[in-house]
Structure 1
Amino acid sequence: MTKTRMMLAASAAICLGGSAWAEELEVTHWWTSGGEAAAVAEFAKAFDATGNKWIDGAIAGSGSTARPIMISRITGGDPMAATQFNHGRQAEELVDAGMMRSLTELAEAEGWADVITAPFLLENCTLDGELYCVPVNIHSWQWLWLSNKAFEDAGVPVPTNWDEFVAAAPALEAAGKVPLAMGKQGWQSGGAFNSMVLSLAGPDIYMKVFQDHDAETAAGPEMAKVWAAADAARKMAANSNVQDWNQATNMVITGQAGGQIMGDWAQGEFQVAGQVAGKDYTCLAGLGVGQYLSANGDAFYFPKLSDDAKSEAQGELASVMFSPEAQVAFNLKKGSVPVRKDIDLAAANDCMKKGLEIIGAGNIVPGTDALITPDTNTQLEDLHNQFFSDMSLSAEDAQARFAQIIGDAS
């Protein structure tokens, strides 16, 4: 190599943060709403700072739309460098097939187990003693988001719990508001229902149903109360004529709807809209009734690649995603809680602080994605979608079908 070329190579290495070559890594995910896009951009910025390049592979739609595309690419021999899944069992078959790379060595070297907020987040990434994903946040579903303006327009106080919210529905309707905003997708109605199970029936019933697959409990009187609440919810949501979750959130932001049951990722939409928790909107953890949250969330898996340089860059990306700096930047915009317990969250707003208090007290249970298979989850989402769209399906008949699905779950 000539002296000039050696100097240019050295200069390039300095510009690339110490790496002689920048690697482009395609990262697939389903974060496309305003708040989600702002959050994932923080990961991209942090990875680009290493001298490598994040190639964004956002797939429009929900996870249920994106996951089959991601899986098809991996099994078809066209893997991306990293891909989003939820914590739990969604990538289990890909791991079993030997298509995902282990992150065990990296996690041990960086001491992930020493700083993780909830140990089962790493357990959900582990199969046969090997760690296969990096958890990036803790999401919880059990939130009721309320529009302070909608209740002011209706002349009623902002509710403090689920029963008060249901009682305020007639006043909201009289004021031309939709009491409950909900998109017309099974994962949304299913998530709302599961939130009711934990918040209204409690953690013991929740775990008996989703972890133990106890059909008798699923058919029992405590779950009958949940189905009655779901019946009230579908009536309040009858005129919510939107499809996507963020469209439903926007109804709350603009005061067209009284509230929405949605995970804490909805908070990102309020932030993008410039709204302030406690002033413009109210958040009720556990629907204002329960003091437990499910610890679900997102994780990134790394398909095995034949290119050694890209494989090395995969490790850099995983390390960046778990780093304290990226965890703070990403989760403050996502509305979720970081997976690390050793970081400063002084900038957290009122809603995030509520979530941190509950999680910090240990009042958490695994999300349903970690307890039931994707097949069972699809069956349940189909049931919930039908229940919320077909008023002729009674709560009693829906509960009977629910109990059968739970009893047959593996």
Structure 2
Amino acid sequence: MKATKALLCASTFFGATVAAQAVDLEVTHWWTSGGEAAAVAEFAKAFEEKTDHTWVDGAIAGSGGTARPIMISRITGGDPMGATQFNHGRQAEELVEAGLMRDLTELAEKEGWRDFIRPSSLLDSCTLDGKIYCVPVNIHSQQWLWLSNKAFEDAGVPVPTNWDEFVAAAPALEKAGKVPLAIGQQPWQTTLVFQVLLTALAGPEAYNKIFGDKDTELAASEEIAKVFAAADQARQMAANSNVQEWNEATNLVITGRAGGQIMGDWAQGEFQVAGQVAGEDYTCLPGLGVHEVIQTGGDAFYFPLIDNPEVAEAQEALASVMLSPDTQVAFNLKKGSLPVRGDVDLEAANDCMRKGLDILAKGNIIQAPDQLMSADSLVQINDLFTEFFNNPELTAEEAQKRFVELVGSAT
């Protein structure tokens, strides 16, 4: 296995008297779309230019839901990689508690991570019992509606400025042969749509109370019933969106075959690879044009505990490189996300990234679901919305009742 090769490459013959050797460090992640591959290549390039080590790419096709079980199985099964991607939050909590992840506190204190990582909740999500176990590398927000300017031009209607205008334009889009709303069939995509609708239409406070405080009374309210009615509209608008992957849905927007997509800001990477320009070829509406808010989720890298000083040195080197100012800029411009450093120059940011930076500067932020609710609870909610979007006979009212039960039992 690659991890075993890394260990062999890192072995020493004379103990501490021999200088650190170059390591082939396997890094696992689920970044496989065009925009994602371009972004992760920036990490690999920086790691190999700034150190003597080699990045061994361990991309796992599919979403995080597909990749995470594989990653966890390898770590718990004694075949750890050098570094692995997770999302900010509680996804790796059990691995940390089991003593399988490296403590990065000493490195973080030496480099002053708390002085430049913004918002501080990102590093808090890497912290357990006062110790830091991961490196946040970006801020990803899912609170966006991406619109094809061409699709609306073909349909003879103005590009919408909010969710209500988007819904009102759906009949014209359908008449012009367009799919109003592109949604892939992966379970997390339908849950993302609901979470964005909830935050945009009911407001950030309602989102925090439901996912953070597990407020069943609010979840059962008429206010949230309106969100479920909007989710019903969304599934009708997406009825002919016959794609699986999120980036396939993004491509429908890029090519003008769909009017819009509710998706995280990582979609920007796909628009950039396609040569499209924000504000000209496509339009972005943070918070669906209703409640402009940035979700401070995103990606972080953890480093499995490997009893080898050479591998440990390479792991620390990668952690440091990922947070260096130039790497943060290069990676996030390709990824479509925002940097975790509050002290970097983003003069090259496009129209949509600037919108995100402005919202972040105003402090209009919420935490990601993974930071508020356990992975098991979110899987159950994923399952509900997968069923809702695929079963027209499941009414909004019944789905809301089941949602209330899941919120009540969530951890």
TM interval, shorter chain, is over 0.9
Matches within 5 A, 1:366-405: 366-405=367-406
Q: Which amino acid aligns with 2:407?
A: I
Structure 1 match to 2:222: 221
Q: Is the 2:211–2:407 contact (alpha carbons within 8 Å) kept by the matching residues of 1? A: yes
Q: Which amino acid aligns with 1:147?
A: S
| Secondary structure, counterpart of 1:83 in structure 2 | strand
Q: Which amino acid aligns with 1:156?
A: V
Q: Distance in 1 between matches of 2:170 and 2:200?
A: 20
1:236 aligns with 2:237: yes
1:150 aligns with 2:187: no
Structure 2 match to 1:309: 310
Q: Distance in 1 between matches of 2:245 and 2:205?
A: 32
For each residue in 1:373-401, what CA deviation from the matched residue of structure 2 results, as whole angstroms up to 9, or x when unmatched? Answer: 01001000000111011110000000000
Q: Distance in 1 between matches of 2:75 and 2:400?
A: 37
Structure 2 match to 1:257: 258
Structure 2 match to 1:5: none
Q: Distance in 2 between matches of 1:184 and 1:388?
A: 9
Structure 2 match to 1:338: 339
Task: Specify every segment of 5 or more residues in structure 1 that has no aligned partner in the other structure, as ranges.
Answer: 1-18
Q: Distance in 2 between matches of 1:261 and 1:33?
A: 17
Structure 2 match to 1:358: 359
Structure 2 match to 1:183: 184
1:169 CA displacement: 0.1
CA RMSD of aligned residues (A): 0.7
Structure 2 match to 1:40: 40
Q: Distance in 1 between matches of 2:144 and 2:292?
A: 11
1:123 aligns with 2:124: yes
Count of aligned residue pairs for this structure pair? 392
Q: Is the 2:329–2:339 contact (alpha carbons within 8 Å) kept by the matching residues of 1? A: yes
Q: Distance in 2 between matches of 1:21 and 1:131?
A: 26
| Secondary structure, counterpart of 2:285 in structure 1 | strand
Q: Distance in 1 between matches of 2:291 and 2:20?
A: 53
For each residue in 1:38-70, what CA deviation from the matched residue of structure 2 results, as whole angstroms up to 9, or x when unmatched? Answer: 000000000011121000000000000000000
Q: Which amino acid aligns with 1:382?
A: D
Structure 2 match to 1:28: 28
Tell me: CA distance 1:378–1:20, structure 2 relative to 1, closer, same or farther (3 Å): closer
Q: Which amino acid aligns with 1:260?
A: Q
1:20 CA displacement: 5.7
1:21 CA displacement: 2.6
Q: Distance in 1 between matches of 2:204 and 2:191?
A: 17
Structure 1 segments of 4 or more deviating over 2 A?
none
Q: Which amino acid aligns with 1:319?
A: S
1:223 CA displacement: 0.7
| Secondary structure, counterpart of 2:265 in structure 1 | coil
| Secondary structure, counterpart of 2:406 in structure 1 | helix
Structure 2 match to 1:14: none
Structure 1 match to 2:274: 273
Structure 1 match to 2:16: none
For each residue in 1:97-123, what CA deviation from the matched residue of structure 2 results, as whole angstroms up to 9, or x when unmatched? Answer: 000001101011101101111000000
Structure 2 match to 1:79: 80
| Secondary structure, counterpart of 1:168 in structure 2 | helix
1:306 CA displacement: 1.8
Q: Distance in 2 between matches of 1:329 and 1:137?
A: 11
| Secondary structure, counterpart of 2:84 in structure 1 | strand
1:97 aligns with 2:98: yes
Task: Specify every segment of 5 or more residues in structure 2 that has no aligned partner in the other structure, as ranges.
Answer: 1-18
Q: Distance in 1 between matches of 2:409 and 2:222?
A: 20
Q: Which amino acid aligns with 1:167?
A: A
Structure 2 match to 1:326: 327
Q: Which amino acid aligns with 1:44?
A: A
Q: Which amino acid aligns with 2:180?
A: P
For each residue in 1:344-399, what CA deviation from the matched residue of structure 2 results, as whole angstroms up to 9, or x when unmatched? Answer: 00000000000000011000010101001010010000001110111100000000
For each residue in 1:268-297, what CA deviation from the matched residue of structure 2 results, as whole angstroms up to 9, or x when unmatched? Answer: 000000000010000001101112121110
| Secondary structure, counterpart of 2:354 in structure 1 | helix
| Secondary structure, counterpart of 2:292 in structure 1 | coil
Matches within 5 A, 1:272-291: 272-291=273-292
| Secondary structure, counterpart of 2:61 in structure 1 | coil
Q: Which amino acid aligns with 2:31?
A: W
TM-score (norm 2): 0.95
Q: Distance in 2 between matches of 1:258 and 1:292?
A: 22
Structure 2 match to 1:10: none
Structure 2 match to 1:63: 64
| Secondary structure, counterpart of 2:214 in structure 1 | coil
| Secondary structure, counterpart of 2:207 in structure 1 | helix
1:22 CA displacement: 1.6
TM-score (norm 1): 0.95
Matches within 5 A, 1:152-171: 152-171=153-172
Q: Distance in 1 between matches of 2:21 and 2:81?
A: 19
Q: Distance in 2 between matches of 1:295 and 1:166?
A: 27
1:311 CA displacement: 0.8
Q: Distance in 1 between matches of 2:80 and 2:186?
A: 28
| Secondary structure, counterpart of 1:243 in structure 2 | coil
Q: Which amino acid aligns with 1:352?
A: M
Q: Distance in 2 between matches of 1:186 and 1:166?
A: 23
Q: Distance in 1 between matches of 2:170 and 2:330?
A: 37
